[in-house]
Structure 1
Amino acid sequence: MNLAEFHKNIEQVWAYVEEQLEEQDCDVDCDTQGAVFSITFNDRSQIIINKQEPMLEMWLASRLGGLHFAYKNGEWINSNQESFWQCLTDACAAHGETVDFKR
């Protein structure tokens, strides 16, 4: 994946995340600033998803900790072979919101 594809892919991920949170009536605020996408919950806790351009990775930070994802075989997965979407679903649950990111 080249750099332009990397940015386009992650921006599509962010758009889908925001769309699903809205469609599933989650009580959160989403914000994008540069290479950082944040989801803020009612208790002011956050999930942060950011681009790590030098490594072509996407990082996810939440109450569950920090995870790094690389794009392999058409999917964002971490070193434990866990899907970004499942990890994000779990992270949202840890922050008090039930949401299903079906892909």
Structure 2
Amino acid sequence: MNESEYNEQLDELMYAIEDAIEDNELDIDYETANGILTLTCENGTQVILSRQTAMLQLWVAAKSGGFHLEYDEEAEKWMCESNGEELFVMLNRCLSEQSGDEITLDI
């Protein structure tokens, strides 16, 4: 994946996450600025997704830790380097833990 494809992939991903929050009527605020998507739960805790263009990675910061994800072109999914967790499984887990509610982003 080159840098242009990477940026296009992440633009689509971040729009999909925002749409899933809206479509599922979740009580999560979101803000995108400078390639960073900040998801804020009702209790004020945040999950932050940030682009790491130089490494073609997506980093996720949550109360449970920081995670580096790489795009698996064969599986067509963002996967965590350290634990093998797929991005949407991770987001649902982190948002559920932080909000205290069962969160399912249907993407």
Q: Same fold (TM over 0.5)?
A: yes
Which 5+ residue runs of structure 1 have no aligned equivalent?
none
* RMSD value, Cα: 1.3
**Structure 2: gaps spanning 5 or more residues:** none
CA distance in 1: counterparts of 2:22 and 2:65, whole angstroms: 24
- AA in 1 matched with 2:98: H
Aligned to 1:64: 64
Aligned residues of 1:24 and 1:99 also touching (Cα < 8 A): no
Q: Which residue is 1:44 aligned to?
A: 44
Identify which range, 40-49 or 52-61, moves more after superposition: 40-49
What per-residue deviation string (whole Å, max 9, x for no partner) do you get for residues 3-56 of structure 1? 011011011111111111111111121101112110111221111000000100
TM-score (norm 2): 0.89
1:93 paired residue among 79, 84, 96: 96
Q: Which runs of 4+ in 1 moved over 4 A?
A: none
Partner-residue secondary structure (3-state), 1:86 = helix
TM-score (norm 1): 0.92
Identity of aligned residues (%): 23
Aligned length: 103
Structure 1 residues 47 and 100, CA gap change in structure 2 (3 angstroms): same
Change in Cα spacing, 1:98 to 1:18, as seen in structure 2 (3 Å) is farther
User: Counterpart in 1 of 2:80?
Assistant: 78
8 Å contact from structure 1 (residues 36, 51) kept in 2: yes
